[in-house]
Copies of this chain bind each other. A is one copy, B any other.
């Protein structure tokens, strides 16, 4: 039996005119590929009822599965449900769904304003279709069929679309008894550049190799993606072996597989060891803390921290000696060390991380360029403490400098927990890491 062929249709003036970037189509195609379904076409069109209906007709002829995102909102330019009706039940009005009405009214019962009349349209769907629940918004999805093609309409916002796909579309995409399946996995690392990381994989990345291995970069994270096809058992074994080999070659930078984030990986280590963490941030302004608490259950190990954005906060809250600030400046190894040690002691935690730097565009001086950041991790165990500081010169704009700083701080916390030596360099690090040890002052 042939594999299922899919088409993905994105709807929105803001997408087709280039005002917003559509990331849904790629995300969906990637999820489909994991289920051995190949997308044959993505198409993006405007909020135009006639054009939407025409595209639905054309794509349904060529595909077994059509996924449509966008155009399910309550406003006059949300036309997907109407266009679907034009195709499935031409000439008929849309039907009101009683369960959808209950769902919408329950949402508005929790809001301070009554439901605007325009939202009523979100309870309407073409005859013969079914709603798909949306736990995160008012735009329910619609499931239907046109000839041999199954059609799923999902809302455009990724935070609504993605869980709806996972919970209500994916389970309906059973593999139809195929002998050949596709299996995919990912390995993530922070701290090596993409080309260096790719070189370590060497022959594994040849276009003809099986499994197929490729690398992608998103922000500071480099990911190796592994895909194998064939009989299920063989494909699974092949992916598992390849993933293990990538992790071996990417030691100690690889922090997790698939959905594991660096904050999850760090959190898991802290939880296993019963350790606690605090943060002290200057240029990142709370981003590190925000990443740490992105992991559910972070209150098990994260006590909190300080955003010591100006020098007075560094002195008054973290006990950084004014002398250090005067002598070395706020962006210095000595101040990063004092911030981390001060945070660890004030919060009474086993570890603390501190970041101080120049995110730009302003703030640079002759000796201190934009992108200069010092990151310190202070640990205590029993009667001793140790603090490592690394110096970085990050490239990129304000947002990139801040993001890379926070990611490197997380990786440094992970390295500290795993006992990775300070001379294992991180990308963008400039010599050289320093380490001080002493009696813990807790």
Q: Which residues of A approach B to under 8 Å, CB–CB?
A: 12-23, 25-33, 38-47, 51, 73-77, 107, 110-113, 116-119, 135-138, 157, 159, 163, 184, 186, 193-196, 198-199, 205-207, 212, 214-219, 225, 227, 279, 281, 283-290, 292-294, 296-299, 302-310, 312-313, 316-317, 346-348, 359-363, 393, 395-400, 402, 425, 427-431
Contact = CB atoms under 8 A, between A and B. Distances in A.
Contacts of A41: 16, 43-45, 51
30 contacts: A14-B225, A16-B39, A16-B41, A17-B38, A17-B227, A18-B28, A18-B31, A20-B216, A25-B44, A40-B51, A43-B44, A73-B195, A73-B217, A75-B198, A77-B215, A110-B393, A110-B395, A111-B427, A112-B429, A118-B195, A135-B395, A159-B399, A281-B286, A285-B286, A286-B293, A289-B309, A290-B290, A296-B362, A299-B310, A317-B317
A261 B233 CA distance: 51
A68 B97 CA distance: 43
A16 B279 CA distance: 39
A14 B207 CA distance: 12
B304 A308 contact: yes
A296 B398 contact: yes
A411 to B, nearest CB: 14
B283 A286 contact: no
A76 B214 CA distance: 8
A312 B299 CA distance: 12
B309 A303 contact: yes
Contact of A296 (B29, B135, B361): B361
Interface residue SS majority, chain A: mixed
B430 A112 contact: yes
A117 B196 CA distance: 9
Instruction: Count copies of this chain in the complex.
Output: 2
B16 A30 contact: no
Contacts of A44: 25, 41-43
A287 B312 CA distance: 22
A75 B195 contact: yes
Contacts of A288: 286
A186 B285 CA distance: 28
A412 to B, nearest CB: 15
Contacts of A28: 18
Nearest to A73: B194
- List 6 A-B pairs, minimum CB-CB distance, nearest first: A286-B286, A18-B29, A286-B289, A285-B293, A18-B30, A304-B309
A219 B74 CA distance: 17
Nearest to A361: B296
A187 B76 CA distance: 18
A17 B41 CA distance: 9
A116 B201 CA distance: 13
A288 to B, nearest CB: 7
Contact of A21 (B23, B196, B303): B23
Contacts of A22: 26, 42
A383 to B, nearest CB: 23
Contact of A13 (B46, B214, B302, B397): B214
B296 A302 contact: no
Nearest to A74: B195
A18 B206 CA distance: 19
Contacts of A219: 159
Given A32-B18, A198-B75, A431-B112, A310 B304 contact: yes
Given A157-B217, A307-B307, A290 B286 contact: yes
Given A112-B425, A286-B286, 9 more contacts: A16-B29, A17-B30, A17-B39, A17-B184, A42-B42, A73-B217, A110-B430, A163-B397, A285-B294
Contacts of A40: 16, 45-46, 51
Contact of A294 (B39, B43, B399, B431): B399
